[in-house]
């Protein structure tokens, strides 16, 4: 009848119209796998910032629940009676220990992988249940006034969100590790409002490289996180400090000495934390009792020095603004050192990043005050020494001088401090490295790698990275089938195989363009008519360096992996996975 059309023809015409848009998007926008990776990195940054903000709100809620006050933790400790100063941190330790014990029972058979382990020596998979319960335990430790930083669980949660996102999208191990690294960068950026430093924290400390293949996504994620925090809160730069000015080149001499001091002090600080951890372990008391004891020790110290409670942020602000008497600071610094060792040694979940800034600022201020008393022109501003000391101590503790320099600049926005900061950081870094072979982070990673050697995933051959079951069609497939496949998967090349999976060639998205204007001709075409037999291909036992040659000179994102004996299609190799694996391999020790 007139007006009645073949349903198959109508379907083909609809597919062709959709396919025209697909080809137009590919030709005009040309989205590559790297661009898609940056998009996912931005999303990981956004989600990571939200989780960090939620953790901060919950921490304040726990603090108010345990103390009945909404003031800062230091101010609260000043106002509490002596018995409450001891009881509140001890209660926080009890709740944290009970949560960790519950987590251990509920997570039997599930590892306690943290974000550093997942990125550096793992597959990027972070267990959900154990991570959430450990973060919940950190809420009680931090909210009750433990001398520990909140950046650790904030970064863990952000990395967990990124890991869940990558697993949902079924990312390959190299891509998943990179996405988890992006989540960690977003956590640091959210905690300190320092996106550049957040990127370099992960690049220097965990990945060990600042190659653009990894640094680019890290920067995008950190920027997305910082923007999210600034939109949802009134966050500005973290530390408001007076203006600093370098009046004479002679002022650089005390900073040289300060670099040696901070570089010597940081290793002793890290050793004391490890020694405290061993002392708590040899007591053989249950983990819950250790956390309670650690909380009681912190509370006992806080009776006389309430400044030890929390991560030390408010006291650092007072130091940088010259609101602390140097004689009182000596006692506060020693008390903070003991309190941090008590919290860390007892197993309280949290970080020592911000306490390290406290130690560096205190040592720097005391040194600046001493120099000023004997040589006023050499250190006219002790607060400047405190600021530089923060960066130097962080550099010596983390073995990441570039990150420390950038972080101090971002947190203060004081450009004039850059010259002494760079000099002091480098001296502190080399001094600490000469006194102690490993930083706090590298020692932890080495220990975990020794405990779980199977977690390390060497990537040396193509077969280690290939993805099985790529999109394929038979050589007799009709145009409509090819069109549906191009519309359902985001690839630019579809592989043509025989019944035995023997590889024949490739149908390119660009090659079907001439048929989009003629549906009648398209209805007659099969895959064998439009496929290209000459196309780059690699074998499963080729090295990664050899595989890279298949991409050179060809604007393609994936190459087929073919069995050289049977010509069977085994899978495909992504350029993104290959480049990430090459970067990771370059950072691995050679024996």
The per-residue pLDDT for range 478-537, each reduced to its tens digit, is 877 887 777 777 788 889 998 888 999 998 877 777 777 666 666 777 888 888 888 888
Query: Strand pairing partners for 505?
Result: 496
User: What ranges in 29-144 are assigned the alpha helix state H?
Assistant: 33-67, 73-79, 82-106, 115-120, 128-143
* Confidence at residue 451, expressed as pLDDT on a 0 to 100 scale: 54
Model confidence pTM above 0.75: yes
Q: Which residue in this structure is represented by tokens 């390390």?
A: 456
Q: Are 156 and 115 in contact (CB under 8 A)?
A: yes
For the chain, the straight-line distance linking the first and the last C-alpha, in angstroms and rounded, comes to 79
Task: Give CA separation, 84 vs 78, 161, 302, 336, in Å.
Answer: 11, 36, 10, 19
* Confidence at residue 108, expressed as pLDDT on a 0 to 100 scale: 65
Q: How far apart are CA 216 and CA 179, in angstroms?
A: 12
412-446 burial, b for 16+ CB within 10 Å, e for fewer? bebeebeebbbbbbbbbbbbbeeebeebbbbeebe
Backbone angles phi, psi at 246, to 5 degrees: -95, 105
3-state helix vs strand vs coil in the chain, percent to 5: 70, 5, 25
Q: How far apart are CA 491 and CA 22, in angstroms?
A: 11
In what helix (H) or strand (E) does residue 226 lie, and over which residues does it extend? Answer: helix 212-232
Q: Are 493 and 532 in contact (CB under 8 A)?
A: no
Q: Are 190 and 226 in contact (CB under 8 A)?
A: yes
Interval 198-210: pLDDT, tens: 888 888 777 766 6
* Confidence at residue 62, expressed as pLDDT on a 0 to 100 scale: 94
* Confidence at residue 591, expressed as pLDDT on a 0 to 100 scale: 39
Query: In terms of DSSP bridges, do strands 493-497 and 569-574 run parallel, antiparallel, or are they unpaired?
Result: unpaired
Q: Are 357 and 316 in contact (CB under 8 A)?
A: yes
Domains and CATH numbers, the chain: 9-18+460-587 (3.10.580.10), 33-232 (1.10.3080.10), 249-455 (1.10.3080.10)
* Confidence at residue 2, expressed as pLDDT on a 0 to 100 scale: 44
Q: How far apart are CA 52 and CA 371, in angstroms?
A: 40
Task: Give CA separation, 468 vs 99, 136, 172, 247, in Å.
Answer: 41, 39, 11, 65
Listed in sequence order, the residues at least 6 apart from 247 whose beta carbon sits closer than 8 Å to its beta carbon are 380
**Which stretches of the chain drop beneath a pLDDT of 50?**
1-4, 453-456, 589-591
Q: How far apart are CA 279 and CA 215, in angstroms?
A: 39
* Confidence at residue 431, expressed as pLDDT on a 0 to 100 scale: 95
* Confidence at residue 344, expressed as pLDDT on a 0 to 100 scale: 93
* Confidence at residue 30, expressed as pLDDT on a 0 to 100 scale: 56
* Confidence at residue 3, expressed as pLDDT on a 0 to 100 scale: 46
Q: How far apart are CA 29 and CA 22, in angstroms?
A: 10
For the record, the structure tokens of 390 come out as 């923060």
For the record, the structure tokens of 239 come out as 């530390």
* Confidence at residue 410, expressed as pLDDT on a 0 to 100 scale: 81
Query: Strand pairing partners for 532?
Result: 506
């Amino acid at each position: 009848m007139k007006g009645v059309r073949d349903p198959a023809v109508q379907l083909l015409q609809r597919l062709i119209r959709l396919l025209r848009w697909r080809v137009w998007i590919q030709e005009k926008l040309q989205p590559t796998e790297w661009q898609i990776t940056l998009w996912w990195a931005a999303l990981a940054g956004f989600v990571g910032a939200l989780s960090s903000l939620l953790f901060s709100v919950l921490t304040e809620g726990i603090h108010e629940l345990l103390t009945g006050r909404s003031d800062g933790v230091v101010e609260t400790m000043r106002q509490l009676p002596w018995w409450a100063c001891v009881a509140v941190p001890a209660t926080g330790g009890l709740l944290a220990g009970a949560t960790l014990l519950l987590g251990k029972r509920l997570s039997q058979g599930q590892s306690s992988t943290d974000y550093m382990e997942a990125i550096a020596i793992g597959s990027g998979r972070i267990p959900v249940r154990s991570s959430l319960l450990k973060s919940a335990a950190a809420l009680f430790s931090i909210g009750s006034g433990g001398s520990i930083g909140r950046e650790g669980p904030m970064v863990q949660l952000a990395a967990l969100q990124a890991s869940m996102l990558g697993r949902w999208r079924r990312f390959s191990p190299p891509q998943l590790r990179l996405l988890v690294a992006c989540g960690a960068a977003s956590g640091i950026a959210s905690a300190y409002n320092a996106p550049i430093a957040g990127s370099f924290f992960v690049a220097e400390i965990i990945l060990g490289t600042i190659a653009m293949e990894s640094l680019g996504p890290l920067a995008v994620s950190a920027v997305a996180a910082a923007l999210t925090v600034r939109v949802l809160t009134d966050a500005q730069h973290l530390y408001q400090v007076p203006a600093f000015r370098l009046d004479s080149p002679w002022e650089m001499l005390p900073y040289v000495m300060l670099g040696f001091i901070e570089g010597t002090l940081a290793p002793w600080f890290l050793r004391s934390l490890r020694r405290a951890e061993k002392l708590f372990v040899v007591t053989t008391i249950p983990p819950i009792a250790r956390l309670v004891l650690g909380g009681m020790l912190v509370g006992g110290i806080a009776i006389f020095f309430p400044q030890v409670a929390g991560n030390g942020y408010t006291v650092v602000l007072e130091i940088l603004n010259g609101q602390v008497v140097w004689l009182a600071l000596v006692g506060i610094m020693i008390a903070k050192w003991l309190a941090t060792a008590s919290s860390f040694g007892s197993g309280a979940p949290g970080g020592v990043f911000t306490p390290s800034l406290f130690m560096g600022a205190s040592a720097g201020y005391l040194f600046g005050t001493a120099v000023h008393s004997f040589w006023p022109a050499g250190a006219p501003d002790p607060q400047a020494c405190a600021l530089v000391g923060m960066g130097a101590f962080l550099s010596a503790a983390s073995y990441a001088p570039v990150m420390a320099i950038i972080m101090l600049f971002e947190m203060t926005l004081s450009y004039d401090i850059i010259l002494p900061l760079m000099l002091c950081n480098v001296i502190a870094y080399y001094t600490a490295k000469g006194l102690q072979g490993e930083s706090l982070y590298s020692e932890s990673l080495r220990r975990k790698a020794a405990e779980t050697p199977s977690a390390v995933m060497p990537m040396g051959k193509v077969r280690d990275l290939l993805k099985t079951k790529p999109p394929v069609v038979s050589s007799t497939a009709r145009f409509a089938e090819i069109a549906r496949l191009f519309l359902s998967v985001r690839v630019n090349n579809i592989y043509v195989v025989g019944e035995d999976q023997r590889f024949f060639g490739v149908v390119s998205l660009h090659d079907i363009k001439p048929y989009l204007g003629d549906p009648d001709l398209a209805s007659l075409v099969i895959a064998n008519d439009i496929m290209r037999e000459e196309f780059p291909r690699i074998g499963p036992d080729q090295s990664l360096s050899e595989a890279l040659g298949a991409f050179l000179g060809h604007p393609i994102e994936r190459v087929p992996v073919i069995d050289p004996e049977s010509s069977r299609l085994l899978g495909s190799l992504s350029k993104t996975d290959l480049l990430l694996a090459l970067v990771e391999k370059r950072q691995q020790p050679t024996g």
